[in-house]
Amino acid sequence: MSDRTPDSLPRPETIAVQALGRIDRASGGVVPPLQPSTTFARERDYSLMTEGHIYARDDAPTVREAEDIIAALEKATTARLFASGMAAIATLLRAAATGPIVVQKGIYYGTQVFALRALAEHGIDVRWFEGNDLDSLAAALADGKPTLVFAETPSNPWLTVVDIAAAAKIAHQHGARLAVDSTAATPIHTTPLTLGADYVVHSATKSLNGHSDVLAGALATNDTDSDLWQAICRERHDAGAVLGTFEAWLLIRGMRTLGVRVHSASSNAMAIAGFLAGHRAIETVRYPGLADHPDHAVARRQMTGGYGSLLSFDVRGGSEAALAVAGKLKRIVRATSIGGIESLIEHRRSVEDPMTNMPGGLLRLSVGIEHVQDLVEDLDQALAGIA
């Protein structure tokens, strides 16, 4: 195995396609090999045969390769993979819970549930802010020395765009670090660390892998000397929330097409958002690429090359109408998750807690890379007769 370090890092599309340029020296294979061993032999003098490789819960070669690719994509010095996006988020939030934690409202439901059930209900001071109201962030940080701000942009499913540079400045003024869940943006459209964030979070289950066949999570950072990063690495090791080697290999394979997938899905999403915005059966369309999206100016400044594959819209007529539309779709699949090559639709009210305040008419659409006209036609026939 060779580590070919390019002189300067190419663009993210190229990093992903070339898997950082690594080839298998032993065979000449241009595809990084899968090394499944959970344990690694020592020399007669008991030194390690390969630096760092002792046991797969500490460091497995194929997992490390996937981590190196994600670190390069996010312009980070290092990254760690976890068994799921939630395992990464839980590890980060638990490690930061040495003081108050400030979490954005209306982000991925599972993150909010974790912050409430696993942290707040166990005595951790969890505070909330509005992603597009940074005065509310400053107010939440004002006392008690919060350790971490957790943001998600664009948010799932509200598509709120957080001004990362401004949020980082405010967090740092108050001595807190900023973590950004960039799952929906992907490193193709946004690299939060270059805008001042301290940690990037991914559900790698989504666009990074892209094929709806791997569950994985990632944290990437340049904050490697901090107590927080040391605590995160210790927690991952001690609690064992690591990614398996086969999943890491599949993730490397999935990431090779990251650029074409993300560009194609984002361009489809833009077209579909435009189509839905002009449809009389639709009340609201949330997509940061639309000029009338409340955070469009921030998105235009912050996101490069597109606005992602995630959007949500409200069907006139509430839950009944939205479920009828979802039920009539023939090509778009009714299923949870986002960021896959296939388009998925979800009625969020049906899958959240009965106490949810999710509007009944809201459908979340994760746009895939099918021919855009097939997707528009499918939505058009499903919306016919509504309103």
**What is d(CA 266, CA 254) in angstroms, rounded to the nearest whole number?**
17
Single out the residue of 203, 207, 212, 268 in contact with ligand PLP (rule: CB under 6 A).
Answer: 203
| Residue 3 or 213 having the CB closest to ligand PLP | 213
Instruction: Specify the stretch interacting with ligand PLP by CB under 6 A; choose among 7-15, 51-59, 179-187, 325-333.
Output: 179-187
Q: Of 58, 64, 88, 95, which Cα lies nearest the Cα of 217? A: 88
CA–CA distances in Å: residue 105 to residues 147, 156, 186, 198, 237: 17, 11, 21, 20, 30
Tokens found for residue 278: 């002009």
SS3 label, residue 303 = coil
The answer to the question of residue 86 lying near ligand PLP (CB under 6 A) is yes
Instruction: Specify the stretch interacting with ligand PLP by CB under 6 A; choose among 84-92, 95-103, 122-130, 340-348.
Output: 84-92
What is 26-46 written as a DSSP string?
TT--SSPPP---SB--B-TTS
169 is catalytic: no
57 is catalytic: yes
Query: How far apart are CB 182 and ligand PLP at their closest, in Å?
Result: 9
Single out the residue of 110, 196, 305, 359 in contact with ligand PLP (rule: CB under 6 A).
Answer: 110
Chain positions 182 to 201 lying near ligand PLP, rule: CB under 6 A, are 183-184
Cβ neighbours of residue 375 under 8 Å, at least 6 residues apart? 268, 272, 331, 332, 343, 367, 368
Single out the residue of 85, 244, 254, 289 in contact with ligand PLP (rule: CB under 6 A).
Answer: 85
Give me the phi and psi of 205, to 5 degrees please: -60, -25
Query: Angle of helix 372-383 relative to helix 318-328, nearest 10 degrees?
Result: 130
Single out the residue of 12, 187, 210, 217 in contact with ligand PLP (rule: CB under 6 A).
Answer: 217
**What is d(CA 186, CA 209) in angstroms, rounded to the nearest whole number?**
11
Query: Active-site residue among 59, 64, 75, 109?
Result: 109
The answer to the question of residue 156 lying near ligand PLP (CB under 6 A) is yes
Single out the residue of 65, 68, 181, 223 in contact with ligand PLP (rule: CB under 6 A).
Answer: 181
Query: Active-site residue among 181, 198, 223, 295?
Result: 181
Single out the residue of 215, 270, 273, 326 in contact with ligand PLP (rule: CB under 6 A).
Answer: 215
**What is d(CA 11, CA 106) in angstroms, rounded to the nearest whole number?**
32
Binding-site size, ligand PLP (CB under 6 A): 16
Query: How far apart are CB 88 and ligand PLP at their closest, in Å?
Result: 8
Burial of 331-350, coded b for 16+ CB within 10 Å and e otherwise, reads bbbeeeebbbbbbbbbbbbe
Query: How far apart are CB 52 and ligand PLP at their closest, in Å?
Result: 26
The answer to the question of residue 114 lying near ligand PLP (CB under 6 A) is no
**What is d(CA 2, CA 14) in angstroms, rounded to the nearest whole number?**
18
206 is catalytic: yes
Query: Are the C-beta atoms of 100 and 150 separated by less than 8 Å?
Result: no
List residues with catalytic annotation: 57, 109, 181, 206
Residues making contact with ligand PLP (CB under 6 A): 84-86, 108, 110, 152, 156, 181, 183-184, 203, 205, 215, 217, 337-338
